[in-house]
Chains A and B, each alone.
Chain A
Amino acid sequence: DTAVSQTPKYLVTQMGNDKSIKCEQNLGHDTMYWYKQDSKKFLKIMFSYNNKELIINETVPNRFSPKSPDKAHLNLHINSLELGDSAVYFCASSGGTSGGAVETQYFGPGTRLLVL
Chain B
Amino acid sequence: AQSVTQLGSHVSVSEGALVLLRCNYSSSVPPYLFWYVQYPNQGLQLLLKYTSAATLVKGINGFEAEFKKSETSFHLTKPSAHMSDAAEYFCAVGEPWGKLQFGAGTQVVVTP
Interface residues of A (CB under 8 A from B): 4, 31, 33, 40-45, 48, 50, 55-56, 90, 92, 94, 98-110
Contacts and interface: CB of A to CB of B under 8 A. Distances in A.
A90 B49 CA distance: 20
A103 B43 CA distance: 17
Contacts of B94: 100-103
A42 B98 CA distance: 18
Contacts, number: 74
Nearest to B31: A101
B88 interface: yes
A109 B42 contact: yes
Interface stretch (B12-20, B64-72, B100-108): B100-108
Contact of B43 (A44, A45, A56, A90): A90
A56 B46 contact: no
Q: How large is the interface on B (under 10, 10 to 19, 20 to 34, 35 or more residues)?
A: 20 to 34
B98 A41 contact: no
Given A56-B97, A56-B99, A101-B32, A107 B45 contact: yes
Interface of B: 32, 34, 36, 38, 41-46, 49, 51, 88, 90, 94-100, 102, 104-105, 107
12 contacts: A43-B102, A90-B44, A100-B97, A101-B95, A102-B32, A103-B94, A104-B46, A104-B49, A105-B46, A105-B100, A109-B41, A110-B41
A99 B95 CA distance: 10
A48 B46 contact: no
A31 B46 CA distance: 17
Contacts of A106: 46
A26 B43 CA distance: 16
Contact of B105 (A42, A44, A105, A107): A42
A90 B41 CA distance: 11
Contacts of B44: 43, 90, 92, 105, 107
Contacts of B36: 107
Contacts of B43: 4, 90, 92, 107-110
Given A90-B43, A110-B42, A105 B104 contact: no
